[in-house]
Structure 1
Amino acid sequence: MASGYRILEAITADLRERLLHDHRVVSVPANHHLMFASDWGEDVYLVHSGIAKARSLSEQGEETVVSLMGPGSLIGDLAVFTTLSLRTVDVISLTPITFWKLRHRALQEAMESSPDFMRVIACLQAHRLCSLGERLMLMNEDATTRLLATLSLLARLNGPNDDPFQPVPAIPQQEIAVISGLSRGTASTLINKLRANRTLEPTDDGLRFTTLVPLQRRGLLPPLKPPPAQP
């Protein structure tokens, strides 16, 4: 399962400076609605720290988590590409989150003036489609695999290094269950089992993986990047 696409790492320093010119820095607590589905709006946010979820609700009120977003992720950028600036999902912070509120015009100018930036945006959209496909495929897996995938992704998003050994943020087990497509009882039972067999250990900052073997066995870690070519 892929982690967040870190857009600032993929653009030049000059373009980064123009994109962040006159931005605002906003911090909100956990469980804060950043966006509501079907609302109008053109604001675009760039996550600096923290994790948010994009979710949809059925007519019966059942929640489906579409994606998780961490440091470096763009939120709300689809409004730039559509004639109707209508939000398609709810976006809610899972942890305290700090983000840059970008100027709508700055984002448009960057796209109009820089083919490189448009390629970065295209990569972002492709990454989202791949991540959504991975989430859909995971729903066919067993409960343990789904839970491990969720915990691994939360750990990797919980800091700047895309590291599965980072602590899993201390969010309610109900949230973890919903993200995994499980009942709260099943998620709780499996977490206790993973703690008992020492796959997970408690820390002051949250649960932490002690080994990556269960993730590797299930193909839940991203492929290693190839080493740089020798001159």
Structure 2
Amino acid sequence: MITKISEIAIFADIPEIDAPHIISKLKERKFKKNHVLMFENDLSEDVYIIRSGMLKIYRIHEGKEIVLSISMPGDILGEVEALSNDSHRISSIEALENVSVWHMTKQDFLQIVDQYPSVLRKAYMVLVERTRMLNRLIRYLTFYDVRTKAANLLVDLYYNFGKPDGDNFKIDLKINQSLLANMLGVTRESISKTLGDFQNEGLIDIREKYFYLLDKSQLEAICSETEEVPALRKWYNV
């Protein structure tokens, strides 16, 4: 649970003495799992800061969903629209679990930006990181087969949510196969078969929706020609 302004990347450089001023502009809201906070192309000027829980950013075309990213505590949503002249939402956002957020109006957010220029610089850095993530997603969707896509995504998830677990490496994030399929633009049957192959080859194990990389080096070997700079697998370096 995010409790301090300093834990929010975009506000990290605001002096601690000014934190109460920022907090006074925030209102806490809670959303249940599967609640859609916003739909693509909706007109809305709300800005959200995630305090707890996980959300997916996605688009739907002809009934097919593609997940663009996953947002976690400390992330901010809606700031791009607030900083632009167009209030149409860029994408849809849905709670993957029960979520708590801080909510603020566009006017309050812009006032903070005017008062603390570092917020605008941080917002730009966040936008660059999101663009980098989308660039990687386009590469996955366009150039690779399902096996290479899945291996890359598992390694990405480890770089962002992983931790050593004995002799193995755990992705400390519960995630189901349908979400993985929608992150890669493939069918659930395809991802299920591929993950089954990885399990049979001793590359991974799945326990209670947690993924364990049993042979991380071999998974990375599958990805060897798809990411020349492994550090760029980190989704956010703000």
Q: TM-score, normalised by structure 2?
A: 0.76
Determine the structure 1 residue equivalent to 2:90.
88
Determine the structure 1 residue equivalent to 2:170.
165
CA distance in 1, matches of 2:81, 2:25: 20
Counterpart of 2:179 in 1: which secondary structure?
A: helix
Aligned residues: percent identity? 19
For residues 55-75 of structure 1, the C-alpha deviation after alignment (integer angstroms, 9 at most, x for no partner) is 2222x2222323322222211
CA distance in 2, matches of 1:27, 1:52: 12
Q: Which of 36, 49, 52 in structure 1 is aligned with 2:52?
A: 49
CA distance in 2, matches of 1:109, 1:71: 23
Aligned residues: 216
Q: Which of 120, 132, 145 in structure 2 is aligned with 1:142?
A: 145
- C-alpha spacing 1:135/1:18, structure 2 compared with 1 (3 Å): farther
CA distance in 1, matches of 2:28, 2:43: 21
Return the structure number with greater relative CO, CA threshold 8 A, min gap 6: 1
Letter in 1 for 2:171: Q
Q: TM-score, normalised by structure 1?
A: 0.78
What runs of 5+ residues in structure 2 fail to find an aligned partner? 1-7
Q: Is the 8 A contact 1:70 1:157 kept in 2?
A: no
Cα deviation for residue 152 of structure 1 reads 4.2
Determine the structure 2 residue equivalent to 1:229.
none
In angstroms, what is the RMSD of aligned CA positions? 3.0
- C-alpha spacing 1:157/1:203, structure 2 compared with 1 (3 Å): same
Cα deviation for residue 205 of structure 1 reads 5.9
Q: Which of 213, 217, 225 in structure 1 is aligned with 2:217?
A: 213
Cα deviation for residue 33 of structure 1 reads 0.6
CA distance in 1, matches of 2:39, 2:233: 37
- C-alpha spacing 1:158/1:22, structure 2 compared with 1 (3 Å): farther
- C-alpha spacing 1:57/1:205, structure 2 compared with 1 (3 Å): closer
Counterpart of 1:135 in 2: which secondary structure?
A: helix
Counterpart of 1:110 in 2: which secondary structure?
A: helix
1:128-139 → structure 2 map (5 Å cutoff) = 128-139=130-141
Q: Is the 8 A contact 1:51 1:157 kept in 2?
A: no
